[in-house]
Chain A
Amino acid sequence: MLANIHSFESLAALDGEGLRYAVFFTGCPLRCAYCHNPDSWFKSSTDMTAEEVFHKARRFKPYFKRGGGLTFSGGEPLLHASFINELAEMLQEEGIGYCLDTSGGVLLTNEVKEAINGADMVVLDVKFYEPDSYKKYTGGEFDNFIAAGRYCSEKEKRLWLRTVVVPGINDSEADMERYAALVNDWRYEQYELLGFHTMGFFKYENLQIANPLVDVPALSGERLEELQRYLDKERQALRRLES
């Protein structure tokens, strides 16, 4: 089976634990307004078999200590669930684990479930906390994301949550309260906020596609920290309330 690959990054230490070899697939069912990788929406000239990716990735095994492994990102890696499952068999034999870096924005088919089941951990994007803004800013179905999140939670998958905070869209304390409430009954290890930045803007220009947030400034580091603290406090408060 072939998959269309955007690129590889041999040192991706932020998407999961330890040193990670990241495979970026092309194609995404979403069109997030704040996407910093719009170039991954389109097909590249690189089609590869699962074996080929495996042989590239295997070379990095010496570095996979203290939790390291592969990270499938994109684009949306779960669009390539069957490919991942084929690759996962080879990885398993070699003793290499993988992490999924996903929006959960696909239908929860059997292939997708299998890809999630095979992962060491999942990094899941919590884009918006209710269907309307989810649809408005990502073009995707809120229900898909909820199903994916619940599935990971039920399967007791190691789960990290992430939300990109965009000034003027989801950067208020009230927003944080809603996010905290949304995932309150999920099992997960951590919830990290990422600040919207403008470093991917040049890609919109290069691709000659409209950048819907061209006038939005980057979120300041201080505000990000403030919101992260607020979110953490809210999450704890909710949990305390229940127990």
Chain B
Amino acid sequence: MKNEAAWRGFSKCVWCDEINVSNFIKTNYAQYDGDGSFLAGPTERTNRQMARVKELLIAESEKGGVLDVDTERVLTILSHEPGYVIDKDSDIIVGLQTDAPLKRGVSPFAGVRNAIQACHAYGYEMSDKIKEEFTYRTTHNTGVFRAYNDTMKKARHAGILTGLPDAYARGRIIGDYRRIALYGMDYLIEQKKIDKAKLGEKDYLDEATVRLLEDLAKQLEFMVQLKTLALQYGYDISKPATSAFEAIQWLYFGYLGAVKEQNGAANSIGRIAEFIDIYIERDLKEGKITESQAQELVDDLVIKLRLVRHLRTPEYNDLFAGDPVWVTLSLAGVSSEGKHMVSKTSYRVLQTLYNLGSSAEPNITVLWSEHLPQEFKDFCAKVSIDTDSIQYENDDVMRRMYGDDYSIACCVSAMKTGKQMQFFGARCNLAKVLLMALNGGKDEKEGEQIAPEGPVFEEEVLDFDRVYSAYKEYLRWMARLYVNTMNIIHYMHDKYAYERLMMSLHDTDVERLMAFGVSGFSVAVDSLSAIKYAKVKPIKDERGIISDFEVTGKFPKYGNDDDRVDLIGKDLIEFFYKELCKTPAYRGAKHTLSILTITSNVMYGRKTGATPDGRKSGEPFAPGANPMHGRDCEGALASLNSVAKLNYACCQDGISNTFSITPEALGKDDVSRIENLVSMLDGYFQQDAHHLNVNVLNREKLVAAMNDPTLYPSLTIRVSGYAVNFNKLTRDKQEEVIARTFHKGM
């Protein structure tokens, strides 16, 4: 390929002859070991843009969370005329989902009813035109419910298996948007055409091949449309980017096309910082831009990412509170050759939290390694302490499974960029399955028989071995049902709401991951511990269903670095993962598992009766893999040590831990707080732990913000693999966040 102008000054390697962004980065990026003193503040233009953005955000909040909805047109790549934050000249990086900032579009592809309800929730009515258009069209949602069996419907209703993407788009797929900048659309289109032609020449076109052929045709169609979208904004992206501005603009067009086309649960942008840095460094070297202009480009991209919106239903918000998009942006990490991948643009992205103020989006994720330079670790810790806006994931464990060019989707889901995609699968309720095991397969809330009928526990005091063996039986049943349910969902999603554009930015022979999840982990573990080490007496209600427990004696609780209970949790997860793997997944996908609840821990708790650990009926679960609120009483590090024992090899979709500590407990002054936070992260990740959300704040501040939202309008906190503006949470979720353990030290 001849791209002399676009590739001037780059070191040539295999990336020149094949689509290989990882190779391009590794042969061209500039490692940076220094500190943040080179960073530039916001320009006047950036400040003007942010002033406008702040006005818009206030107006959005005053209108109940949604500024405007276009109910007349279905949102697609080419549905809307160009839109700008201020105007064509003032915006640097251009492109909005609709023709105006924060105006949301309607996307009924995953489910029409859902889209209608979402409009209603904010006082809008979807136009008859759209309703009619979709009357004769099968959506993903319709397809799924055609195929669901009765047990699946019951399990879904009872809250054993919920939050599944069967009525909304699955998301969590990350297009490799960098490819557009490096190669230009024409080359990418040409390569896909070659792939398709080759595939069509096979001797036997089996079902899988025919499906892929149709997929490729859809991809090609949307690749052409993406070029048109860019042209509408005045740019031709058929050729590779020739400057830092173009590189950022080109890759942003790819992302924009994806979020216009898809309203999936998480639309992450991937690992872009070090890629962009190569272009910025070249422009700086050529004297084409200054540091201030380089920062301005990054700031303007981040402004655009902060404005991405989808129209959601209240039910959806219950699962994923705070209106998140999960524009997860992963940075840093280490290469397979052992070189750290921190560049100046890793810093520049973090700097946006100072230049533009703290924010939930993009969901900045630092890929932590003990090999990152000390200066960078300290800078990250400072940003955490100042803004509560970033999260950390352990590159040293993920690199073993995903190589060195993976990205994080959503909260904690790793995938090889452009080479792997994920079938997202929400989660099942481990605590509730335990109660079902005690009740012979009946739902303790509604009394309905859901799982196959088994014996109800009749004894005076529960015996651990008997309970655990019955629990495992029901987990086997759960695992089978879960995989089969997911197979239906993703078959239908591929059929009726295929992510054409995102998938066009993947290799044709993409690897697939099917991501299962669990909720109620710490409740299940502590319940088993109570049964094992204390005396748990089941109490039956008038229906003959065990719906309460009397616990006498002490029992060790998860979160205190106590093997007696922590190893029960480790064993439970390993068992469940192995069971999931026994049922084959759709399209040859590899099974993965997460311990992550997002904010659905409140909803799952609501649907679950009293548990043997002493948790009352309806009380929220702890989020993700967190120890239950207030039960981790030997301090912060003991709590981290317990979570660190869980085996990432069985939870390759992530083990989420959200951690709050008061500034006073972390250290006496700014310097010691930074140093101590870095030691904490190093110590935790050195034990092969996977993820940590860090909040450094006081409970009192949150209580004050809950009672008077005007006090801290932009208060950002990390909740569960993502950050939210605290004021966007509903009261019950605010209360749950406040009830979480705040490590105070002594």
Picked from B634, B641, B682, the residue with its CB within 8 Å of the CB of A8 is B634
Q: A14-B668, A14-B745 are in contact. Are A9 and B683 (CB under 8 A)?
A: no
B679→A10 contact, CB < 8 A:
no
A11→B561 contact, CB < 8 A:
no
A62→B635 contact, CB < 8 A:
no
Q: A8-B634, A60-B683, A62-B682 are in contact. Are A13 and B641 (CB under 8 A)?
A: no
A9→B746 contact, CB < 8 A:
yes
Chain B residue contacts of A59, Cβ below 8 A: 561, 641
Chain A residue contacts of B679, Cβ below 8 A: 18-19, 63-66, 68
B666→A13 contact, CB < 8 A:
yes
Measured CB to CB, the nearest residue on chain A to B638 is A10
Q: A9-B635, A19-B680, A62-B682 are in contact. Are A14 and B667 (CB under 8 A)?
A: yes
Q: Judge whether A22 is part of the interface by a CB distance below 8 angstroms.
A: yes
Q: A19-B679, A65-B679 are in contact. Are A11 and B665 (CB under 8 A)?
A: yes
B683→A65 contact, CB < 8 A:
yes
Q: Judge whether B743 is part of the interface by a CB distance below 8 angstroms.
A: yes
Chain A residue contacts of B687, Cβ below 8 A: 62
Q: A18-B675, A63-B637 are in contact. Are A11 and B682 (CB under 8 A)?
A: no
Chain A residue contacts of B647, Cβ below 8 A: none
Interface string of B663-692 (1 = CB under 8 A from A): 011111000100110111011101100000
Chain A residue contacts of B641, Cβ below 8 A: 10, 59-60
Size of B's binding interface in residues, CB under 8 A: 28
- C-alpha gap A10/B686 in the complex (Å): 17
B634→A18 contact, CB < 8 A:
no
Chain B residue contacts of A14, Cβ below 8 A: 664-665, 667-668, 745-746
Closest Cβ of chain A to B696, distance in Å, is 12
B667→A8 contact, CB < 8 A:
no
Q: Judge whether A87 is part of the interface by a CB distance below 8 angstroms.
A: no
Closest Cβ of chain A to B526, distance in Å, is 19
Closest Cβ of chain A to B396, distance in Å, is 13
B746→A15 contact, CB < 8 A:
yes
Q: Judge whether B595 is part of the interface by a CB distance below 8 angstroms.
A: no
B637→A60 contact, CB < 8 A:
yes
Chain B residue contacts of A19, Cβ below 8 A: 637, 676, 679-680, 683
Measured CB to CB, the nearest residue on chain A to B672 is A13
Closest Cβ of chain A to B716, distance in Å, is 23
- C-alpha gap A114/B664 in the complex (Å): 33
Q: A8-B634, A63-B683 are in contact. Are A13 and B561 (CB under 8 A)?
A: no
- C-alpha gap A12/B679 in the complex (Å): 13
Measured CB to CB, the nearest residue on chain A to B744 is A11
Picked from A11, A15, A73, the residue with its CB within 8 Å of the CB of B637 is A11
- C-alpha gap A13/B675 in the complex (Å): 11
Chain B at the A interface: mostly helix, strand, loop or mixed? helix
A13→B676 contact, CB < 8 A:
yes
Q: Judge whether B251 is part of the interface by a CB distance below 8 angstroms.
A: no
Chain A residue contacts of B664, Cβ below 8 A: 14
Q: A-B contact count, CB below 8 Å?
A: 81
- C-alpha gap A62/B634 in the complex (Å): 17
- C-alpha gap A12/B745 in the complex (Å): 5
Q: Judge whether B636 is part of the interface by a CB distance below 8 angstroms.
A: yes
Chain A at the B interface: mostly helix, strand, loop or mixed? loop
B680→A63 contact, CB < 8 A:
yes
User: Which residues of chain B from 613 to 646 have a CB within 8 Å of any chain A CB?
Assistant: 634-639, 641
Chain A residue contacts of B676, Cβ below 8 A: 13, 18-19, 66
Measured CB to CB, the nearest residue on chain B to A15 is B746
Closest Cβ of chain B to A93, distance in Å, is 20
Chain A residue contacts of B675, Cβ below 8 A: 18, 66
User: Which residues of chain B from 683 to 709 have a CB within 8 Å of any chain A CB?
Assistant: 683-684, 686-687
B745→A13 contact, CB < 8 A:
yes
Measured CB to CB, the nearest residue on chain A to B561 is A59
Chain B residue contacts of A22, Cβ below 8 A: 746
B683→A11 contact, CB < 8 A:
no
Q: Judge whether A25 is part of the interface by a CB distance below 8 angstroms.
A: no
Chain A residue contacts of B661, Cβ below 8 A: 11
A21→B637 contact, CB < 8 A:
yes
Chain B residue contacts of A12, Cβ below 8 A: 635, 745-746
Chain A residue contacts of B634, Cβ below 8 A: 7-10
A11→B745 contact, CB < 8 A:
yes
Chain A residue contacts of B637, Cβ below 8 A: 10-11, 19, 21, 60, 63
Measured CB to CB, the nearest residue on chain A to B686 is A62
Chain B residue contacts of A65, Cβ below 8 A: 678-679, 682-683
- C-alpha gap A12/B668 in the complex (Å): 11
- C-alpha gap A119/B636 in the complex (Å): 24
Chain A residue contacts of B635, Cβ below 8 A: 8-12
User: Which residues of chain A from 56 to 111 have a CB within 8 Å of any chain B CB?
Assistant: 56, 59-60, 62-66, 68, 73
- C-alpha gap A143/B20 in the complex (Å): 75
Chain B residue contacts of A21, Cβ below 8 A: 637
A11→B686 contact, CB < 8 A:
no
Interface string of A1-44 (1 = CB under 8 A from B): 00000011111111101110110000000000000000000000
- C-alpha gap A21/B745 in the complex (Å): 10
User: Which residues of chain A from 138 to 161 have a CB within 8 Å of any chain B CB?
Assistant: none
Q: A19-B676, A66-B675 are in contact. Are A10 and B561 (CB under 8 A)?
A: yes
- C-alpha gap A56/B641 in the complex (Å): 11
Measured CB to CB, the nearest residue on chain B to A11 is B636
Closest Cβ of chain A to B576, distance in Å, is 26
Interface string of B722-746 (1 = CB under 8 A from A): 0000000000000000000001011
- C-alpha gap A7/B746 in the complex (Å): 11
Closest Cβ of chain A to B744, distance in Å, is 9
Closest Cβ of chain A to B274, distance in Å, is 26
- C-alpha gap A7/B675 in the complex (Å): 26
Measured CB to CB, the nearest residue on chain A to B637 is A10
Closest Cβ of chain A to B48, distance in Å, is 39
Chain B residue contacts of A10, Cβ below 8 A: 561, 634-639, 641
Chain B residue contacts of A18, Cβ below 8 A: 675-676, 679
- C-alpha gap A15/B672 in the complex (Å): 12
Closest Cβ of chain B to A204, distance in Å, is 18
Closest Cβ of chain B to A64, distance in Å, is 8
Chain A residue contacts of B667, Cβ below 8 A: 13-14
Closest Cβ of chain B to A14, distance in Å, is 6
Chain A residue contacts of B561, Cβ below 8 A: 10, 56, 59
Chain A residue contacts of B665, Cβ below 8 A: 11, 13-14
- C-alpha gap A13/B441 in the complex (Å): 48
- C-alpha gap A66/B681 in the complex (Å): 13
- C-alpha gap A21/B680 in the complex (Å): 12
Chain A residue contacts of B636, Cβ below 8 A: 10-11
Chain B residue contacts of A11, Cβ below 8 A: 635-637, 661, 665, 680, 743, 745
- C-alpha gap A7/B560 in the complex (Å): 12
User: Which residues of chain B from 527 to 565 have a CB within 8 Å of any chain A CB?
Assistant: 561
Chain B residue contacts of A9, Cβ below 8 A: 634-635, 745-746
Closest Cβ of chain B to A6, distance in Å, is 11
- C-alpha gap A30/B683 in the complex (Å): 37
- C-alpha gap A60/B639 in the complex (Å): 11
- C-alpha gap A14/B673 in the complex (Å): 10
Chain A residue contacts of B746, Cβ below 8 A: 9, 12, 14-15, 22, 73
Measured CB to CB, the nearest residue on chain A to B633 is A7
- C-alpha gap A115/B639 in the complex (Å): 30
Closest Cβ of chain A to B294, distance in Å, is 32
Q: Can you list 10 contacts pairing A with B, beta carbon distance less than 8 Å? A: A9-B634, A10-B635, A13-B666, A13-B745, A19-B637, A62-B682, A62-B684, A63-B684, A65-B679, A73-B746
Q: A9-B635, A63-B637 are in contact. List 17 more A-B contacts (CB 8 A).
A: A10-B637, A11-B635, A11-B665, A13-B665, A13-B666, A13-B668, A14-B664, A14-B667, A14-B746, A18-B675, A19-B680, A60-B641, A62-B682, A62-B687, A63-B683, A65-B679, A68-B679
Interchain residue pairs A-B with the least CB separation, the first 10:
A63-B683, A10-B635, A10-B637, A62-B683, A11-B636, A10-B638, A62-B686, A9-B635, A11-B635, A65-B679
* Chain B interface residues toward A at CB < 8 A: 561, 634-639, 641, 661, 664-668, 672, 675-676, 678-680, 682-684, 686-687, 743, 745-746
